[in-house]
């Protein structure tokens, strides 16, 4: 039976280890500070930001949520970031994506002080990642590496395949695996013979945002599968295809009216892999935990 890699358990471990560090900072100087900028009222972004703010409150991290209107201009947003850059009580700045179309996202990203780049997306942070130098790492890939380490899943010498080449997950994931001495292949929508490439993986990371796209044909028996996807399926026909008309699972779908599924078929992943991250409860909980870790780490650097 495959080992279920529980992200919730690892999240709790990470937060538990952060708590005394936050208490020490608070007693000796000041609590770490995180500012989250949420433009407009996108429902998914609002939920995500709410969870970030709650995590800060639970740990004793000072958090501020700034909510410019959806009509905000690039210049107005840059002025907000300039103020946050100057504040000594703010250690990390996070601008929730996506931004409205009139805002130049590239300019906004570059405007964040690299010393406060809690997401690890600034070119300066990316350069540190490439060079394997200290600095904040993109939260989701960093969380995955922590998950592998804590579950004692070997990476050194293993063949890793990352499906997806985004700046947020795919590219930093590949670099982090490479730094741990894996042999890494990055696949994407233009990759020829994708299934063949994936079947070579000892560690398969799926991060392309397509519901249950990777099936049994893509998984080498005994591989470790990390499913980063989070897709909401509402069409019954698609749910039936993914769940293979399993009666119990389809009854659950009919009650909820939706199915939350990753980028890998959940039935195939559970039956073929040696270990896998479930959806939900796998990679998702790690992202906010690593955001908290980055915030505390930046605060410790600033206070030094």
Q: Is residue 54 flagged as an active site residue?
A: no
Cα angle 39-41-42, degrees, rounded to a multiple of 5: 100
Burial group, residue 5, by CB count within 10 angstroms (0-12, 13-18, 19+): buried
Largest CA distance in the chain: 59
As a whole number of Å, the CA-based R_g of the chain is 20
How wide is the angle at C-alpha 265 spanned by C-alphas 259 and 270, nearest 5°?
Answer: 105
CB 208 within 8 Å of CB 263:
yes
Nearest to 261 by CA among 247, 287, 240, 275: 240
Three-class secondary structure of residue 262 per DSSP: coil
| Alpha-carbon span 85 to 118, nearest angstrom | 12
Q: One of 91, 96, 227, 263 is an active-site residue; which one?
A: 96
The catalytic residue among 117, 119, 227, 268 is 119
Is 263 tagged catalytic? no
d(CA 82, CA 102): 19
Q: Indicate left, alpha or beta for 68 from its phi (over 0: left) and psi (-120 to 50: alpha).
A: beta
**Residue located via tokens 């990055």:** 186
Tell me which DSSP letter residue 99 carries. Answer: P
Tokens at residue 243, please? 């769940």
Q: Catalytic site residue 119?
A: yes
Catalytic residue among 52, 116, 158, 171: 52
Residues labelled catalytic: 52, 96, 119
């Amino acid at each position: 039976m495959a080992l279920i890699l529980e992200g919730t358990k690892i999240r709790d471990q990470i937060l538990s280890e952060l708590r005394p560090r936050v208490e020490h900072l608070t007693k000796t100087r000041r609590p770490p500070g995180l500012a989250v900028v949420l433009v407009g009222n996108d429902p998914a972004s609002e939920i995500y930001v709410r969870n970030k703010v709650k995590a800060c409150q639970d740990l004793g991290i000072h958090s501020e949520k700034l909510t410019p209107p959806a009509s905000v201009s690039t210049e107005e947003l840059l002025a907000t970031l300039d103020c946050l850059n100057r504040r000594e009580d703010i250690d990390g700045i996070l601008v929730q994506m996506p931004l409205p179309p009139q805002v130049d996202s590239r300019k906004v990203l570059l405007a964040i002080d690299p010393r406060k780049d809690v997401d690890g997306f600034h070119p300066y942070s990316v350069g540190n990642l490439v060079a394997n130098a200290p600095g904040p790492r993109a939260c989701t890939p960093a969380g995955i590496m922590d998950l592998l380490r804590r579950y004692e899943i070997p990476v050194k010498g293993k063949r890793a395949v990352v499906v997806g080449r985004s700046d947020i997950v795919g590219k930093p994931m590949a670099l982090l695996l490479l730094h741990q001495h894996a042999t890494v292949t990055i696949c994407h929508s233009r990759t020829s013979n994708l299934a063949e490439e994936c079947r070579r993986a000892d560690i398969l990371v799926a991060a392309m945002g397509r519901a249950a796209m990777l099936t049994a044909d893509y998984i080498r028996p005994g591989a470790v599968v990390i499913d980063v996807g989070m897709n909401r399926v509402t069409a019954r026909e698609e749910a039936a295809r993914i769940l293979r008309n399993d009666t119990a699972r389809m009854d659950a779908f009919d009650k909820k009216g939706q199915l939350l599924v990753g980028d890998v078929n959940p039935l195939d992943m559970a039956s073929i892999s040696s270990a896998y991250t479930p959806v939900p409860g796998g990679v998702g909980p790690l992202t906010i935990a690593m955001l908290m870790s980055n915030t505390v780490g930046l605060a410790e650097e600033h206070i030094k």
